[in-house]
């Protein structure tokens, strides 16, 4: 990784899960640990970039030397990310954002009754699509695609729709843990398979972005 390429560049990373509360003690979420987002933020910091990490609830300590903005819900993540995205040189959407949220969140704990409550869901905003659309000209955009079927085909479609420069496709097993399997896809049609630590994958992602600017 070439430090001169990254020195002073502004990098925005979203990471971890979001929580969409049904009531004060229950929520919809997923198993994201935030490990991938942390690895990306730390790799960019080590390369000399100015990094902002917008992070859902993971329990991880904030990385040193990184501006970390804690959030809970998808809407909070979008609001925080938008504040930094318009001036960012690189946008990396590594968060596992909940696609849906309850239409209403109860202010007090829902009590058990004879009949199960009916849960009505509404879609959350597409954070990466919004950031990509609002990004400044020339900014690099990176996304992740987690799929159970037709992984590469769906990742390519997501890359096209969201106008990304690079997308990382991975299976559900990528959630949690410090190691992963993934495929890196770029707009020139190249596909690179990867298996190893998330820290190594973070460095590979940054190296791939460098080559996109060569």
Residue 189, classed as helix, strand or coil, is: coil
Query: 179: how many CB neighbours lie within 10 A of its CB?
Result: 14
Q: Verify whether residue 124 is a known catalytic residue.
A: no
For the chain, how far is it from start to end, CA to CA, in angstroms?
13
Cβ(186)–Cβ(168) below 8 Å: no
Residue 36 Cα distances to 17, 122, 130, angstroms? 11, 27, 21
Torsion of CA 27, 30, 36, 42, to 10 degrees: 10
CA atoms within 13 A on the CB side of 71: 26
- Of the candidates 30, 124, 170, 207, the residue annotated as catalytic is 30
Q: Which residues contact 116 (CB under 8 A, 6 or more apart)?
A: none
CA-wise closest residue to 40 among 80, 1, 75, 71:
1
Active site residues: 30
């Amino acid at each position: 990784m070439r430090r001169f390429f990254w020195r002073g560049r502004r990098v925005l990373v979203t990471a971890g899960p979001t929580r969409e509360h049904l009531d004060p003690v229950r929520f919809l979420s997923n198993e994201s640990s935030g490990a991938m987002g942390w690895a990306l933020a730390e790799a960019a910091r080590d390369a000399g970039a100015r990094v902002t990490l917008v992070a859902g609830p993971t329990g991880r300590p904030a990385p040193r030397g990184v501006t970390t903005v804690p959030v809970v819900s998808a809407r909070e993540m979008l609001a925080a990310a938008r504040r930094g995205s318009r001036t960012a040189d690189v946008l990396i959407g590594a968060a596992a954002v909940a696609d849906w949220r309850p239409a209403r969140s109860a202010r007090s704990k829902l009590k058990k009754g004879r009949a199960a409550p009916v849960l009505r869901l509404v879609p959350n905003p597409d954070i990466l699509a919004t950031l990509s659309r609002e990004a400044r000209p020339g900014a690099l955009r990176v996304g992740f695609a987690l799929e159970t079927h037709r992984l590469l085909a769906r990742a390519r479609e997501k890359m096209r729709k969201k106008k990304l420069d690079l997308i990382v496709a991975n299976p559900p097993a990528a959630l949690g843990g410090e190691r992963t399997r993934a495929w890196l896809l770029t707009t020139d049609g190249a596909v690179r398979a990867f298996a190893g630590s998330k820290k190594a994958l973070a460095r590979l992602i940054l190296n791939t972005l460098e080559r996109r600017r060569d």
